[in-house]
């Protein structure tokens, strides 16, 4: 009998500020695993009690005060978790958890949760240290042995990767090509990360181009829904072993219209194991 596993990725842009919105989502959707980015919360201040009341007893935390931060919250126990640093900075942009026998899985799954640097506004690494950091971060992801699953390995990579790599991942390829998140160098570097690990872009498997696909809408656009000038900054990748096990990908666009929303929306994958 197949095991169904659901995993949600969401850049929440402050978990304490939006805890009620997250709770609303969890009560409605009940994913097995929730991966949050940009939690902006040190580990000792993380609202673990609230999540436990919601049924998410297990947490792999990597947070700091005010900036960045990632977490894997789960209704299922995991075997272990670890944190990687990139570019010599302990800036809380990665956490990985391994799910196995304790979660009722015969074969283990490694789940990586990332928050890639946004890169600032100027797409020139000579003029903008934030953009240089982003490019270096992507290079280190490409070269990381832990992000190159073996042919038989079951692995998932999710998160706010802060790059919309394909033409139809942005509202206007022509107008966005010089804008950070869709410049050719960023798109090439993210594609190199994907190719190095032979990762499968699950979202685009389900919604192939030329269909538009977005997960982020700017706070600067007051009429975001009508304008619909979105970008696909959030991603779900699987290793080759899991590619044919993905039965659904759901982008919960209506959460962008909530009171005091994040500018990102939750993306949920269903796996049939």
Q: Are 146 and 84 in contact (CB under 8 A)?
A: yes
Give the mean model confidence (pLDDT) for residues 53-74: 98
Task: Tell me, yes or no, if the pTM score tops 0.95.
Answer: yes
User: Would you say residue 1 has pLDDT above 60?
Assistant: no
pLDDT band at residue 89 under the 50/70/90 scheme: very high
Q: Tell the burial category of 207 from Cβ atoms under 10 Å away from its Cβ (0-12, 13-18, 19+).
A: middle
Element counts in the chain: helices (H) and strands (E) = 7, 14
What's the chain's average pLDDT?
97
Q: Is omega for the bond preceding 207 within 30 degrees of 0, making it cis?
A: no
Helices 184-196 and 129-143 sit at what angle, rounded to 10 degrees? 20
pLDDT band at residue 3 under the 50/70/90 scheme: confident
Q: Are 21 and 47 in contact (CB under 8 A)?
A: no
One of 3.40.50.720, 3.40.50.1100, 1.10.1240.10, 3.60.10.10 is the CATH number of 4-272, namely 3.60.10.10
Q: What is the dihedral of CA 180, 250, 217, 84, to 10 degrees?
A: -40
Q: Which H helix or E strand runs over 268?
A: strand 267-272
- Tens of pLDDT, residue by residue over 137-164, are 999 999 999 999 999 999 999 999 999 9
For residue 234, give the 3-state DSSP assignment: strand
User: Would you say residue 8 has pLDDT above 70?
Assistant: yes
Joined together, the tokens standing for residue 21 give 């919105």
Domain ranges of the chain: 4-272
**Count of Cβ atoms closer than 10 Å to residue 145 Cβ:** 7
Give the mean model confidence (pLDDT) for residues 5-21: 98
Q: Quick one: residue 38, left, alpha or beta (phi over 0 = left, psi -120 to 50 = alpha)?
A: left
What percent of the chain clears pLDDT 90, i.e. is strictly above it?
98
Q: Tell the burial category of 49 from Cβ atoms under 10 Å away from its Cβ (0-12, 13-18, 19+).
A: exposed
C-alpha 116/C-alpha 185 separation (Å) is: 15
Centroid of chain to Cα 229? 20
Report the candidate in 115, 211, 220 with the shortest Cα–Cα distance to residue 166: 211
C-alpha 14/C-alpha 118 separation (Å) is: 16
């Amino acid at each position: 009998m197949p095991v169904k596993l659901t995993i949600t990725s969401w850049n929440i842009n402050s978990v304490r500020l939006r805890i009620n919105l997250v709770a609303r989502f969890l009560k409605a959707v009940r994913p097995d695993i929730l991966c949050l980015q940009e939690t902006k919360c040190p580990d000792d201040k993380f609202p673990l009690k609230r999540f436990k009341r919601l049924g998410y007893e297990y947490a792999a935390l990597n947070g700091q005060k005010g900036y960045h931060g990632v977490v894997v919250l789960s209704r299922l126990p995991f075997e272990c978790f670890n944190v990687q640093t990139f570019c010599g900075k302990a800036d809380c942009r990665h956490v990985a958890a391994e799910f196995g026998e304790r979660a009722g899985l015969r074969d283990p799954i490694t789940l990586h949760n990332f928050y890639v640097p946004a890169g600032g506004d100027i797409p020139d690494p000579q003029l903008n240290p934030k953009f240089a950091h982003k490019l270096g971060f992507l290079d280190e992801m490409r070269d990381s042995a832990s992000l190159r699953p073996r042919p038989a390995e079951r692995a998932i990579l999710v998160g706010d990767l802060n790059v919309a790599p394909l033409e139809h991942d942005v509202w206007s390829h022509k107008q966005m090509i010089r804008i950070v998140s869709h410049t050719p160098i960023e798109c090439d570097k993210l594609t190199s990360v994907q190719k190095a690990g032979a990762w499968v872009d699950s979202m685009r498997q389900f919604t192939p181009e030329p269909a538009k696909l977005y997960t982020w809408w700017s706070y600067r656009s007051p009429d975001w829904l009508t304008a619909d000038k979105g970008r696909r900054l959030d991603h779900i990748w699987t290793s080759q072993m899991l590619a044919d096990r993905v039965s659904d990908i759901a982008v919960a666009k209506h959460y962008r219209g909530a009171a005091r929303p994040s500018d990102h929306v939750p993306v949920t994958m269903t796996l049939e194991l």
